[in-house]
Amino acid sequence: MTSSPEISLRQAGPADWPAISALLSALQLPLDGAREHLAHFLLAHQGGELVGCAGIERHGDIGLLRSVAVAPGLQRQGLGRRLLAPLLAEARQRGLRQVYLLTTTAADYFARLGFTRVERVALPAALQASAELRGACPASATAMLLSWAAEPAAGPNGELPVAVLGAGPVGLAAAAHLLERGITPLILEAGASVGAHLLDYGHVRLFSPWRYNIDAAMARQLQAAGWQAPPADELPLAREVVERVLRPYAALPAVAAALQLSTRVSAISREGFDKVKSAGREQAPFLIRAEQADGRVAELRARAVIDATGTWGQPNPAGAAGLPAVGERELAARIAYGIPDVLGTQRARYAGRRTLVVGAGHSAANALLALAELAQQAPGTRLAWATRSAAPTRAFGGGALDALPARGQLGSALQALQAQGRLEFFGGLRIAALREEENGSLTVQGQDLTLGGFDELIVATGQRPDLDLTRELRLQLDPWLESAAALGPLIDPNLHSCGTVRAHGHRELAHPEPGFYTLGVKSYGRAPTFLMATGFEQARSVVAALAGDLVAADRVELDLPETGVCSAGELGGIGSGATGGSCCGPAPVAASQPSASPGCGSACAPAQPRTSCCG
């Protein structure tokens, strides 16, 4: 038996180009731009013949993996991995944070190596110089990313960065304010794109116009790079906020350098200090544990942490007790949580079927209106709606009185749907159990009411924060909303259907753990009344406090739509707890007024009369 000659690996040199180009051409891989990057190519030779190659184009600290080629007779024998492992390890060692690639045929192969698919528009501006991106690779090629949670660079004075967890609108706003103050952020985002939660309900039209959906610091930095703001009064789809603001912002070099995608934070603590240990605690850096797409776990250090991870990833269950209803977990395949794209990607699931939507907020309204439209297009489509409250009045909201007209219209359209008999309504359903009947239909068992004969269930009962992340930190939360403690009395949906909240900043958002803040929709815990503009103001104030500028931190610069709904008389006031939506937004706030004084907390919050529409 004759054995094949050994395969050896070595770095490429200029003299290797004819053999490399012949191999790439034979495999129909692009040649454009490859020669300029030969210094970062690794070659495999067998018996003096080139049998494999792989290269990385380096653009700052971002790489583009390209020209991964194995001679046909040696494919599927592990040679690709033998080339890629040292090539990627060396790239990481030399400071590359992210490596992208484009592939037309091997996406599954690279996924097994830890790369995740990203949309092509998400490719950073730094790569635009690459010939491969400028046309050598077809537009239909799949873009993929491998990112490493590197120990972040120290700031100008050697200090640790401020970690921002979550690159949604509020996390990126916090990063924008940090950058403006010369503080190095470290942005960790679980999704493969910024704004991952907004993309999940990307088909939903928001009810606040652009003017309220763009943070001022982000806009300033984007404008300096030649960006055009979208029309102030138009209502964007949720995905347009990502496409037109968050992604362009994330592509700015300073932001791209600070951002680590596909990095899910699983826990935060103080280095060397569990929750019980006090002496010296405040001097210890925060320790952040994060899981990357390939399963590797990284530990990162930061001098302060801003948790803006949202709540969309933790939907409330259907069970009225706040626990999953009996049978709910087993029937997961028949249940959608949130707002499925009924008229788009999920159309086949709902067309011609009978669906029960559970919940009394905007998400339920959105789902019902989409199902009603589908019912007009697809015969046999039927929709039913169940709320915990006996009457759906609260879900109809403030109608024409709402200062955000689109939000008012959502409730009015839902009310019209019910008045026209285009949906079945069931009030007073407190779900205890779900089961599948022998004929495959779903039965929903309430405490006092049992409904049956459904094909699908959409549960739109709100979200709750992930508190596991912060188990080792000393937090002070509202006992039932799980919001920042000082915010609880201001936003309690038992008291305020309107989400009335006076402007607030770093003092209300502080915890007994110095340097840790929860911002954005997560700061509201289970309350459903958050608006992005509130989060932008939170970010501005908290970052000013972290920068030591307490004058700016205590100033209130909130510009929210005024709403007359809260003083407009009875809306029904049937409390649906934290699972319903609000009828309206925050109350008007005078610009530039001082916020609560230190230690004031909830005691300073004006009591809301229970007889108003908010009660």
Interface contacts to ligand FAD, rule CB under 6 A: 165-171, 188-191, 195-198, 201, 204, 206-208, 212, 264-265, 308-310, 312-313, 339, 363, 520-521, 530-533, 535
> How far apart, in whole angstroms, are the C-alpha atoms of residue 457 and residue 447?
18
Q: How far is the CB of 336 from ligand FAD (least distance, A)?
A: 14
Distances (CA, A) of 97 to 11, 149, 468: 21, 7, 28
Shorter beta-carbon distance to ligand FAD: residue 110 or 530 = 530
Shorter beta-carbon distance to ligand FAD: residue 534 or 608 = 534
Q: How far is the CB of 27 from ligand FAD (least distance, A)?
A: 37
* Residues whose CB is less than 8 angstroms from the CB of residue 37 and which lie 6 or more positions away in sequence, other chains included: 55, 56, 57, 58, 66
Shorter beta-carbon distance to ligand FAD: residue 407 or 507 = 407
Shorter beta-carbon distance to ligand FAD: residue 170 or 542 = 170
Shorter beta-carbon distance to ligand FAD: residue 208 or 393 = 208
Shorter beta-carbon distance to ligand FAD: residue 42 or 308 = 308
> How far apart, in whole angstroms, are the C-alpha atoms of residue 351 and residue 373?
10
- The DSSP line for 488-504 is HHHH-TTT-TT------
- How far, rounded to the nearest angstrom, does the alpha carbon of residue 392 sit from its chain's CA centroid? 30
Helix (H) / strand (E) containing 85: helix 79-93
Helix (H) / strand (E) containing 250: helix 247-251
Q: How far is the CB of 308 from ligand FAD (least distance, A)?
A: 5
> How far apart, in whole angstroms, are the C-alpha atoms of residue 515 and residue 407?
36
Shorter beta-carbon distance to ligand FAD: residue 520 or 577 = 520
> How far apart, in whole angstroms, are the C-alpha atoms of residue 195 and residue 197?
6
Shorter beta-carbon distance to ligand FAD: residue 208 or 387 = 208
- Residue pair 242/591 in contact (Cβ under 8 Å)? The answer is no
> How far apart, in whole angstroms, are the C-alpha atoms of residue 546 and residue 509?
12
Q: Say if strands 142-147 and 98-103 run parallel, antiparallel, or are unpaired.
A: antiparallel
Shorter beta-carbon distance to ligand FAD: residue 40 or 203 = 203
Q: How far is the CB of 363 from ligand FAD (least distance, A)?
A: 5
Shorter beta-carbon distance to ligand FAD: residue 361 or 577 = 361
Q: How far is the CB of 604 from ligand FAD (least distance, A)?
A: 25
DSSP 175: H
Distances (CA, A) of 122 to 88, 155, 186, 502: 21, 26, 19, 37
Taking phi over 0 as left and psi of -120 to 50 as alpha, with beta for the rest, 49 belongs to beta
Q: How far is the CB of 531 from ligand FAD (least distance, A)?
A: 4
* Residues whose CB is less than 8 angstroms from the CB of residue 25 and which lie 6 or more positions away in sequence, other chains included: 31
| Pair of tokens at residue 156 | 């100008």
281: exposed, middle or buried (Cβ count in 10 Å: 0-12, 13-18, 19+): middle
Q: How many CB atoms are located within 10 Å of the residue 549 CB?
A: 14
